[in-house]
C-alpha cells in the first residue's frame, strides 16, 4: 500500500518586500531590471493559494481517492493561515509521501520562508536532510527532479501531460497565475490549484508504474481521477470540456484493451 499526498501552491510578488530589498541593495536590484521589466528575488513572493490531494494505491491494484483540500487567501485571510493549514494537513498524515512537481525549487523554499517568519513547524516529510534506504521513495518526492535525472533539461508538467496524450486545453494558463482581484477570480484560482494537484497525480502514477513501484491500470486510474474531479467541479468550468475528453479517451482505451484481451 502506498499513501500519497500531492501538493501545489500559487504565489505572487509582495511589492512591499521588493521595495524594502531595493532600499538596501539598489545596485543589486538594478541588475534584475532590464528594459523596463521588474524582476524579483524569490524571497519576495507570498503564497495566496494551496491544494492537497490524498490518495492510496492498494496492493490489489485499486486506487482510493481520499479527498482534495484547497486553501485561498480570500477564504483563510492571509499567507500564514494558508501555509499553516497545508502543513497541518501533511502533518496529520505521517504515513503519506508528499509529491510535488518542481517543489524543491518552488513550493518548499516559500513554505519554509513562511514557516520561519511565523514560527510554524515543518512536517517530517518536508524537513531537510532526509535519509532513506536505497530504493525507497523519499518522504517528499519532486517528480520534476526525478524526470530530469542526470540530464540538463527540465520539463514542464504540461510537456509531460501532452506526451502522455492529455488534451492541451488542460494546461492553458498553467505557467503563470496572477493574484485574483474579484470573487470570480478567486473561485477560478481555487479550481486552478486543485486541478494542478490532480494533473500531478496522473503523471506521478504513470511514473511510479514504469518504475515498478506500483502495479495499477493507468487508463483506469486517469479515468477515475478525471471523472472524480469533473464531478467535483461541475460542467461549467474551463477544465470541464478537456477533462471530459480525457475521460472519454481513457474509457475508449480501456474498452480496446478489454476487446483485445477477450
- The model's pLDDT over 124-140, given as tens digits with 9 standing for 90+, comes to 999 987 777 777 788 99
Phi, psi of 99 (to 5 degrees): -125, 135
Non-local (6+) Cβ contacts of 47 within 8 A are 9, 10, 11, 79, 82, 83, 110, 111, 114
Closest to 199 measured CA to CA, from 248, 156, 139, 254: 156
Helices (H) and strands (E) in the chain, counts: 10, 5
Q: What percent of the chain has pLDDT over 90?
A: 58
For residue 105, the Cα-to-chain-centroid distance in whole angstroms is 13
pTM equals 0.90
Closest to 11 measured CA to CA, from 93, 99, 90, 71: 71
**Tally of structural domains, the chain:** 1
Q: How far apart are CA 145 and CA 130, in angstroms?
A: 16
Task: Give the DSSP H or E segment for 72.
Answer: strand 63-72
Dmax over CA atoms of the chain, in Å, equals 72
Please report, for the domain that includes residue 195, its CATH number. Answer: 3.30.420
Per-residue confidence (pLDDT) for residue 20, from 0 to 100? 63
Q: Show the domain range for 194.
A: 2-261
Under a CB-based contact definition with an 8 Å cutoff, are residues 235 and 174 in contact? no
Per residue in 39-69, pLDDT tens?
556 777 899 999 999 999 998 888 999 999 9
Cell numbers placing 160: 509531460
Per-residue confidence (pLDDT) for residue 134, from 0 to 100? 75
Give yes or no for residue 24 having a pLDDT over 70.
no
Amino acid at each position: 500500500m502506498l499513501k500519497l499526498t500531492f501538493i501545489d501552491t500559487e504565489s505572487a510578488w509582495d511589492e512591499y518586500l521588493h521595495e524594502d530589498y531595493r532600499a538596501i541593495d539598489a545596485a543589486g536590484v538594478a541588475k534584475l531590471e532590464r528594459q523596463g521589466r521588474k524582476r524579483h528575488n524569490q524571497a519576495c513572493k507570498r503564497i495566496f493559494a494551496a491544494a492537497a490531494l490524498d490518495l492510496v494505491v492498494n496492493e490489489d491494484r485499486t486506487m482510493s481517492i481520499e479527498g482534495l483540500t484547497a486553501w485561498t487567501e480570500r477564504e483563510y485571510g492571509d499567507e500564514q493561515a494558508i501555509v499553516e493549514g497545508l502543513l497541518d494537513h501533511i502533518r496529520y498524515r505521517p504515513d503519506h509521501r508528499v509529491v510535488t512537481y518542481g517543489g524543491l525549487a518552488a513550493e518548499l523554499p516559500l513554505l519554509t520562508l513562511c514557516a520561519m517568519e511565523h514560527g510554524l513547524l515543518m512536517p517530517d516529510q518536508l524537513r531537510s536532510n532526509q535519509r532513506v534506504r536505497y530504493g525507497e521513495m523519499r518522504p517528499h518526492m519532486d517528480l520534476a527532479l526525478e524526470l530530469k535525472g542526470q540530464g540538463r533539461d527540465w520539463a514542464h508538467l504540461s510537456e509531460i501531460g501532452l506526451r502522455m496524450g492529455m488534451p492541451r486545453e488542460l494546461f492553458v494558463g498553467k505557467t503563470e497565475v496572477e493574484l485574483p482581484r474579484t470573487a470570480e477570480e478567486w473561485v477560478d484560482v481555487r479550481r486552478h490549484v486543485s486541478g494542478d494537484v490532480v494533473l500531478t497525480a496522473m503523471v506521478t502514477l504513470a511514473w511510479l508504474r514504469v518504475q515498478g513501484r506500483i502495479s495499477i491500470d493507468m487508463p483506469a486510474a486517469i479515468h477515475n481521477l478525471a471523472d472524480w474531479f469533473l464531478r467535483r467541479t461541475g460542467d461549467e468550468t474551463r477544465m470541464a470540456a478537456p477533462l471530459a475528453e480525457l475521460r472519454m479517451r481513457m474509457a475508449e482505451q480501456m474498452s480496446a484493451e478489454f476487446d483485445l484481451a477477450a
